[in-house]
Chain A
């Protein structure tokens, strides 16, 4: 369908963009790459009266890599993450997950901030943000704040972002060189949304025991989430065939999957277990 009638603004400063959003009291929407919002408009699932384009805000396009971690400006595109050679060591899990995001043309425009704001429960990056305990920096009319990823997502396409707030940066904690990690997802066709996916990482001590285990899943449940029950059986143990099998079983028993047109709940639960199993196997390998 054609888009609903709307107005368009392309402010040159962040404060101007926030003022425009605030003045429309929830009826205006920020647009970054538009790769999720434009289909929402075409389906008339969203019908804002004003779109506020963020493309003229260069400060949102930076990738900052410091000793404290990786900061990705909200307007950083999938393509930019893919092409940045520093990220192969600064955040390999992020780069591996981004390789699964959407198709070629969409990767040239889609942004990390847009994906986080859109909050699709099957999307890769909200899952990585939650698994890695990233922090989401936002600015609104009452100032800037930082939100923990675990508190950011409320449900499908729902976040704690206020109508006048704009995501400015996604901040990932520093990534130790020796950290072990894996990302796996299953989709019917390359580039499509995952039916289920898993992101895992842990640190390993000299005795081969895992610590600081993080396990997150996407595509099952109403938002991306970590699985503390699974992390608990891995922490302090060697990640071997037996613990991996146990982790997969607990995953399938723990996740809250729903039936939908793409797959049944039982299948998704089973698939989530398989994804955790594969991601852990890759991490341990």
Chain B
């Protein structure tokens, strides 16, 4: 079935099977492989993307349900010239090891900091509880997100 939506600021049109999840549509049809697919049933958070500004699990959504929406993936949060403040903070705090969970951590943290730049460590832990890091590097991830808050206070959104 044909679907039209916006990805990272660009209008796209794809033809997918109705059963295709948004995650698979992004990876296979749009070649945006930054969105990782871990568990495929909504527990690991690796596939988190923003749909109309909200962080959601793209494996728990049909591509068809994104019709008419604005989707932002991890690719849409960065540019090739320099690290964003959130990415730089992840690097500074060694907040990634194997990197598999990182796209989901970044998209989730971006959504959180865009809405709540004053959040405390407890809130960051609460929100990131929906993302599993199998290397178990949570402490440095929480530190990286907390350290990136300042950049979001200056600017309401860095999307």
**Partner-B contacts on A (CB < 8 A):** 1-8, 10, 31, 34-35, 38-39, 41-43, 51, 53, 55, 79, 102-106, 108-109, 189-191
- Chain A residues near B74 (CB, 8 Å)? none
- Chain B residues near A8 (CB, 8 Å)? 1, 18, 62, 64
Say which residue of A4, A42, A51, A102 sits within 8 Å of B40 (CB atoms). A42
- Given contact pairs A8-B18, A104-B127, A105-B55, A2 touches B40 in the complex (Cβ within 8 A): yes
- Chain A residues near B54 (CB, 8 Å)? 79, 108-109
Q: Considering the complex, which residues of chain B in the window 38-55 have a beta carbon less than 8 Å from any beta carbon of chain A?
A: 40-42, 45, 48, 54-55
- Given contact pairs A1-B40, A109-B56, A34 touches B18 in the complex (Cβ within 8 A): no
Q: Are A38 and B61 in contact (CB under 8 A)?
A: yes
- Chain B residues near A7 (CB, 8 Å)? 18
Q: Are B60 and A38 in contact (CB under 8 A)?
A: yes
| Interface residue range, chain B | 20 to 34
Q: Are B65 and A108 in contact (CB under 8 A)?
A: no
Q: Are B19 and A2 in contact (CB under 8 A)?
A: yes
Please give the distance in Å from A109's CB to the nearest CB on chain B. Answer: 5
- Given contact pairs A42-B41, A191-B130, A51 touches B55 in the complex (Cβ within 8 A): no
A104 to B127, CA, bound (A): 5
Q: Considering the complex, which residues of chain B in the window 1-49 have a beta carbon less than 8 Å from any beta carbon of chain A?
A: 1, 17-21, 24, 40-42, 45, 48
Please give the distance in Å from A229's CB to the nearest CB on chain B. Answer: 36
**Within 8 Å of chain A (Cβ to Cβ): is B102?**
no
- Chain A residues near B95 (CB, 8 Å)? none
Q: Are A106 and B1 in contact (CB under 8 A)?
A: no
Q: Are B18 and A104 in contact (CB under 8 A)?
A: no
Q: Are B62 and A105 in contact (CB under 8 A)?
A: no
- Given contact pairs A2-B24, A51-B18, A190 touches B129 in the complex (Cβ within 8 A): yes
Q: Are A6 and B18 in contact (CB under 8 A)?
A: yes
Q: Considering the complex, which residues of chain B in the window 108-126 have a beta carbon less than 8 Å from any beta carbon of chain A?
A: 108, 112, 125-126
Q: Are A104 and B40 in contact (CB under 8 A)?
A: no
- Chain B residues near A39 (CB, 8 Å)? 41-42, 60
Q: Are B19 and A10 in contact (CB under 8 A)?
A: no
- A-B residue pairs, 8 tightest by C-beta: A103-B130, A8-B18, A108-B54, A3-B19, A39-B41, A38-B60, A104-B127, A42-B41
**Within 8 Å of chain A (Cβ to Cβ): is B149?**
no
Say which residue of B60, B125, B128 sits within 8 Å of A106 (CB atoms). B60
Say which residue of A35, A55, A105 sits within 8 Å of B45 (CB atoms). A105
Please give the distance in Å from A224's CB to the nearest CB on chain B. Answer: 22
Say which residue of A6, A34, A106 sits within 8 Å of B130 (CB atoms). A106
Q: Are A190 and B65 in contact (CB under 8 A)?
A: no
What is the chain A residue whose CB lies nearest that of B45?
Answer: A105
Q: Are A35 and B42 in contact (CB under 8 A)?
A: yes
What is the chain B residue whose CB lies nearest that of A107?
Answer: B130
Q: List 30 A-B contacts (CB under 8 A).
A: A2-B21, A2-B24, A4-B19, A5-B17, A5-B19, A6-B18, A7-B18, A8-B18, A8-B64, A10-B67, A34-B62, A34-B65, A35-B57, A38-B41, A42-B59, A53-B62, A53-B64, A79-B54, A104-B55, A104-B126, A104-B127, A104-B130, A105-B57, A106-B57, A106-B60, A108-B54, A109-B54, A189-B129, A190-B126, A191-B130
